[in-house]
Amino acid sequence: MRQTDRLPASADLPAAPAIAHARFAIGDVVRHRMFDFRGVVFDVDPVFSNTDEWYDSIPEGIRPDRDQPFYHLLAENMEQSYVAYVSQQNLMADDSDEPVDHPAIAGLFNGYADGRYHLRREHRH
């Protein structure tokens, strides 16, 4: 094979999957599309980063694709507050303009304005 006949080294590699961009940012208030809860984003994983057991516990008919952003939420519903891990496809912006009632918010955020929370300076990097 002549030098000019060689394929670039990258030609042997499989194509990388398309990576979805995160629609929501830390501090955004979001609502679940199917279940009645809302929350504030406190972390974002570019793709699924939880356990296989957690993933497999989701009924197959509604199980989200792993190759999308997943969000860690300080969540609330009518009965309780908790931490949730939710795929991007199952979230939408919350337009209620109401703050989220979760006891951990004060430790991470220091203000709510214009529908979003502002991360405390000591948690920024």
Answer yes or no: is 61 within a domain. yes
pLDDT, tens only, 18-70: 667 999 999 999 999 999 999 999 999 999 999 999 999 999 999 999 999 99
pTM above 0.95, yes or no: no
Answer yes or no: is 34 within a domain. yes
Answer yes or no: is 4 within a domain. no
Domain that holds residue 97: 19-123
Answer yes or no: is 3 within a domain. no
Would you tell me how many other CB atoms lie within 10 Å of the CB of residue 124? 8
Q: How many independent structural domains does the chain possess?
A: 1
Answer yes or no: is 8 within a domain. no
DSSP state of 99: P
Query: Which helix H or strand E contains 38, and what residues bound it?
Result: strand 38-45
Answer yes or no: is 67 within a domain. yes
Answer yes or no: is 5 within a domain. no
